[in-house]
């Protein structure tokens, strides 16, 4: 398979403290890859490096065959990378509709924008029900659906999800997990999933990397990782 993203021997520092120390990961076209590990392991730092929000100290990042480390964040979005940041950052006083349309700010193809809007609303029927509502009045799970839908409005080739289940009611976590699988399968969007809910992450992904203190400690097919004794003990509470 062809790599859509390569992250080669990347070092990234905050001030003088390293966040990533020689990390290498790859994502194949059409694949969902999970990044799991404890808080501070470097998972979100990988996403910030990919999106250009943090400049790497050394190493290279390639997307679609092009080197992108050092590229401005807005240009990276236009190249086809969309990020859903941690914390459900909606525009609270704007309607669901206007929040979704903000995701298409890089596009000028009006007819196709409306087709994308229809697809997002079909994927998340709750958003259709609350189409004219202010985003700040939605539940946490509905806001998470909204920010994922907004990211899809940019028509990404690679979708970055940072802790999508954080603070979400258990029933809606299942809905969001199913939507991640469907987006990857139906829309052919590659996905990097950063997730504290390791059990969910390993169920919806094809491969996974386990990070500890800025390094990759383990990697492999997600199905195998779910039965790996070290992963079960550290991240799955001893259960599969």
Convert the pLDDT of each residue in 105-115 to its tens digit. 888 888 899 99
Q: What is the mean pLDDT of the chain?
A: 91
DSSP 136: G
**Claim: this prediction has a pTM higher than 0.75:** yes
Q: Which of 189, 198, 181, 123 is nearest to 155 (CA)?
A: 189
Per residue in 37-75, pLDDT (tens digit) is 988 889 999 999 999 999 999 999 999 999 999 999 999
Per residue in 186-203, pLDDT (tens digit) is 999 999 999 988 889 999
| Residue 72 burial (10 A CB sphere; 0-12, 13-18, 19+) | exposed
Rounded distance between C-alpha atoms, residue 19 and residue 90, angstroms = 27
Mean per-residue pLDDT, 165-192: 91
Q: What is the pLDDT of residue 200?
A: 92
DSSP 134: B
pLDDT exceeds 80 at position 233: no
| Residue 3 burial (10 A CB sphere; 0-12, 13-18, 19+) | middle
Per residue in 127-142, pLDDT (tens digit) is 999 999 999 999 988 9
Mean per-residue pLDDT, 96-118: 91
């Amino acid at each position: 398979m062809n790599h859509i993203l390569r992250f080669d021997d990347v070092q990234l520092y905050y001030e003088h403290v390293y966040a990533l120390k020689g990390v290498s990961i790859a994502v194949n076209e059409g694949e969902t890859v999970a990044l799991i590990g404890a808080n501070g392991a470097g998972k979100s730092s990988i996403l910030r490096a990919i999106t250009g929000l943090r400049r790497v100290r050394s190493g290279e990042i390639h997307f679609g065959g092009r080197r992108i480390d050092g590229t401005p964040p807005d240009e990276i979005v236009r190249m086809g990378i969309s990020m859903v940041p941690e914390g459900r950052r909606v525009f609270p006083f704007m309607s669901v509709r206007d929040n979704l349309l903000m995701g298409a700010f890089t596009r000028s193809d009006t007819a196709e924008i409306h087709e994308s809007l229809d697809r997002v609303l079909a994927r998340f029927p709750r958003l259709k029900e609350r189409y004219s509502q202010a985003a700040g009045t939605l539940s946490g799970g509905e806001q998470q659906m909204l920010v994922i839908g907004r990211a899809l409005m940019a028509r990404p080739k690679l979708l970055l999800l940072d802790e999508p289940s954080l603070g979400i009611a258990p029933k809606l976590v299942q809905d969001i997990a199913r939507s991640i699988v469907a987006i990857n399968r139906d829309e052919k969007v590659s996905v990097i999933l950063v997730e504290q809910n390791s059990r969910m992450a390993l169920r919806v992904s094809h491969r996974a990397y386990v990070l500890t203190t800025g390094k990759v400690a383990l990697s492999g097919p997600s199905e195998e990782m779910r039965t790996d004794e070290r992963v079960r003990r550290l991240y799955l509470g001893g259960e599969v």
